[in-house]
Structure 1
């Protein structure tokens, strides 16, 4: 549960930072740099959920 909380918090922070960058008119490169970690977090959470749902829980 601690991992899920940390990942979701990281996701929310990256989205808020991306919004702030968009709102203040930052470059597309800056916004992309802030968006990418959140996207990677979502991919990891989806993959981990699928892994557990299929019974391949592994080390966790």
Structure 2
């Protein structure tokens, strides 16, 4: 994803995969206030808890 520009501005950012669209992985980018990496990690954890971990879906496709 494109978190590099956001990080260049000294804003914490993270990307979490949320699923597959037309067999391609898609994700959400979460951006926070300076020095609040904890909120980004909490948000990403909440998203993963809701939608699941994408790697499990990808491994299931291979079987």
**TM-score scaled by length of structure 2:** 0.37
Answer 1 or 2: which has greater strand percent.
2
**TM-score scaled by length of structure 1:** 0.39
